[in-house]
Amino acid sequence: MQTPDFKGTHLFDRLCWAKENLDGVQSDYRVVYEDSIDECAKILVPDPNWMACALQGGILPPVWVYWELAKDEAQPDFKKHTRGYLLHQTEPVGPMTEEEAIEYLIQKDVPQHVWKTWNEGNKPKMVICRKEQLPSTREWRNAWKIAEHIEATDLAA
């Protein structure tokens, strides 16, 4: 199905169109990351409707738009967004592969200090894996950590 020309269309309206016209895509990819040494590993799970939008193209704004809004929100005097138009008026990005969509999602929903320095330190702070590679039950969930022995070369394979 062809995506309508959504340039300038409110992002919420684009999502309404996608919900009505696209089937959700359940991704098997998961992003495991640690943003604090005092906390267990966190698992990022892509939303199936969002993934459908990413694969379709012409719906989602470029990821830098979210960074700009996050910068605004980080200001101490932030009350409300005044640059929300960036979400709606910036030309949407084209279709992505599932892997490209995961990269986009990492840059959107994983803290920047994690993905910008994921491979600095004694062990990787972030790993992309298949859901089958996670523990099969949630027992001891609060003790889950990225394994110490993972090497960057394993991650690239």
Partner 1 sequence: MAGKIVADTLEHSTAGSIATNYVVEGSAKVWTTFNGQSATITTTDSFNESSLTDTGTGRYAVNFTNNMGNTGYAITGALGSSDASYGAGWFNTGNAHSSFGHTVSNTTSSHRISQAHAVTAGNIDYTDVHSLVHGDLA
Give residues in contact with partner 1 (CB under 8 A). 4, 6, 9, 11-13, 15, 17, 19, 24, 26, 30, 36, 39-40, 42-50, 53, 60, 66, 69-70, 73, 79-81, 84, 87, 105, 108-109, 131, 134-138, 141-142
User: Rounded to the nearest whole angstrom, what is the least distance from the CB of residue 153 to partner 1 in the complex?
Assistant: 25
User: Rounded to the nearest whole angstrom, what is the least distance from the CB of residue 18 to partner 1 in the complex?
Assistant: 9
Question: Which residue, 136 or 153, is less far from partner 1 as judged by CB?
Answer: 136
Question: Which residue, 2 or 153, is less far from partner 1 as judged by CB?
Answer: 2
User: Rounded to the nearest whole angstrom, what is the least distance from the CB of residue 121 to partner 1 in the complex?
Assistant: 20
Question: Which residue, 28 or 151, is less far from partner 1 as judged by CB?
Answer: 28
Burial (CB < 10 A; 0-12, 13-18, 19+), residue 1, is exposed
CA–CA–CA angle 44, 50, 52 (5° rounding): 120
With helix as H, strand as E and coil as C, how does 67-113 read? Answer: HHHHHHHCCCCCCCCCCCHHHHHCCCCCCCCHHHHHHHHHHHHCCHH
DSSP 4: P
Rg (C-alpha) for the chain, rounded Å, is: 18
